[in-house]
Amino acid sequence: MDKLIIFDTTLRDGEQAPGATLNEREKIEIARQLVTLGVDVIEAGFPISSPGDFRAVNRIASTVKGVVICGLARAVTKDIDAAYKATKPARGGARIHVFLATSKIHMQYKLKKAEDEILRLATESVKYAKKYTRDVEFSPEDASRTEPEFLFRVLEAVIKAGATTVNIPDTVGYAYPAEYGALIRSIHERVPNIHRAVISVHCHNDLGLAVANSLEAVKSGARQVECTINGIGERAGNASMEEIVMAVKTRRDSFPHVTAAINTQEIYKTSRLVSKLTGFVVAPNKAIVGNNAFRHESGIHQDGVMKKRSTYEIIAPEDVGFTGTSLVLGKHSGRHAFEKRLAEMGITVSGDELVRAFEKFKELADKKKNVYEEDMVSLIEDEINKPAEIWQMAAVSYASGTHVTPSATVRLKKQGRGFSVTSTGDGPVDACYKAIEKITRIKTRLLDYRIEAVTSGKDALGEVAVRVQSGKKIAMGRGSSTDVIEASAKAFLNAVNKLASKKKGPDGTLPL
């Protein structure tokens, strides 16, 4: 079985994504994690591009061990000198990666050079880099749009000049899998000295085909893939490392001939580090590392996963280091998952109670994006234990603003009698809560307060969820209104009623 060399270019091509710029310290932190992940080569940067990038590549080469450190260079001697100087301290090996475009469009309009001049420059640059290190990679940029005959000539020449890896970039993400695979096979057939070099692939995602193209290339004889964590990179990005590695591992039947030495349990952690430091949020539906990659909300899927995981999961989440909850409750969930979640929370309901609680859950899930654990507890308390509504909310009014001491007047009813109290507080919500405490004579501590919009638009309904403690008792409360202060007061009173009914005095109040 051949080794599939994983060449990580998160710190070079990944960092070229607008907005992804990393400083020296951040690059080192990512490089260290890439070593823990087990990549074979780290393309740490483009040393000529800035003094900061030179320093970052140089620091990585000096401090990050156990991996080949690569620096990118144009076919220009000062770039190659800088790449050499920056990568020189690498103990695991230093690689110089020289690139030069070979497609007609790039040669004519960008480089303004003819084929012969390109061939000469490519060969001389590789020879020049070869003076510095044994490990030289050459990339004919835009290879997939290069005239095949010219591409074969360039590859043969650079291998003769000493290139040990020849990379075939699909620079603009133009290729599609069958075509790209055929290109790799034709290189095997038409470049006489190809056996002296490793064929590498470097695919961009402009048509969403970067991973598919890379995999097809591996099937066709490529033995190095250039990729980035989370697929970040120029424009639509590069081929995503985690997708390639997990595809090769999961579909061993299709890739029996290669193996990648990646410690896959580190994938999720690496993804989150790169996301945090670049500021590029990972889409929830991103393969392998998206938040939803291993989560199920649909009842039929949840039921299947509970009965046999592999009905809907082709990868074990722990294989990529994902440890979050896999069953998410929402409007598409079914009874099996609902019951399981309750059981996990230590709540056992069955028969009619379960039917009722499930109906209420569906109603709530229709309104809310997320059904939290506290919502479940509150739902069970409301629907199953049915606490008596000892105090009813009659009215709330409040005053607040700049240079105004927040105050609230709350009017509650109990057994037909009205009670009204005005109180001040740290804000209108606090003033309401103090007024309710005074009327009910229940002393509380607010443990948690959460507010979210359950409908959209200017008249959105705000729902407040609170967790309130009195003595040793804790109760959840929920309240909704288009006025968030009123919703807050309702939620608090809902919790206070539960506390009162949990330990009623003769008049339904808790002892102070």
Annotated binding site for Mn(2+): 13, 202, 204, 238
Site for ligand ACO in 87-126 (CB under 6 A): 99-100, 110-111
Task: Give the one residue of 10, 33, 165, 171 binding ligand KIV; rule: CB under 6 A.
Answer: 171
Task: Check residue 457 and give left, alpha or beta (phi > 0: left; psi -120 to 50: alpha).
Answer: left
| Three-class SS state of 381 | helix
The tokens describing 193, both together, are 């000295």
In terms of CB distance, is 100 or 474 closer to ligand ACO?
100
CB of 280 to ligand ACO, least distance (A): 18
Site for Mg ion in 86-125 (CB under 5 A): none
| Three-class SS state of 44 | strand
Size of the site for Mg ion (CB under 5 A): 1
Task: Give the one residue of 102, 139, 378, 501 binding ligand KIV; rule: CB under 6 A.
Answer: 139
Task: Give the one residue of 5, 12, 13, 260 binding Mg ion; rule: CB under 5 A.
Answer: 13
Site for ligand KIV in 196-215 (CB under 6 A): 202, 204
Annotate 302-360 with DSSP letters as a single string. Answer: HHHHHH-GGGT-SS-GGGGT--S-SB--STT--HHHHHHHHHHTT----HHHHHHHHHH
For ligand KIV, which stretch binds (CB under 6 A), given 80-88, 166-174, 251-259, 497-505? 166-174
Name the binder of 139 from ligand ACO, ligand KIV, Mg ion, none, CB < 5-8 A by kind.
ligand KIV
Cβ 349 vs Cβ 357: under 8 Å: yes
Give the C-alpha separation, 436 to 470, whole Å. Answer: 14
Cβ-based neighbours of 340, under 8 Å, separated by 6 or more: 306, 327
CB of 8 to Mg ion, least distance (A): 13
Q: Is 142 in the site for Mg ion (CB under 5 A)?
A: no
Annotate 187-250 with DSSP letters as a single string. Answer: HHHH-TTGGGSEEEEEEB-TTS-HHHHHHHHHHTT--EEEEBGGG--STT-B-BHHHHHHHHHH
The total of other beta-carbon atoms located within 10 Å of residue 12's CB is: 26
Site for ligand KIV in 3-42 (CB under 6 A): 13
Task: Give the one residue of 99, 152, 180, 492 binding ligand KIV; rule: CB under 6 A.
Answer: 99
The tokens describing 224, both together, are 């190095």
For ligand KIV, which stretch binds (CB under 6 A), given 154-162, 164-172, 191-199, 404-412? 164-172
- Where is the binding site, in residues? 13, 202, 204, 238
Q: Which residues bind ligand KIV (CB under 6 A)?
A: 13, 99, 139, 141, 167, 169, 171, 202, 204
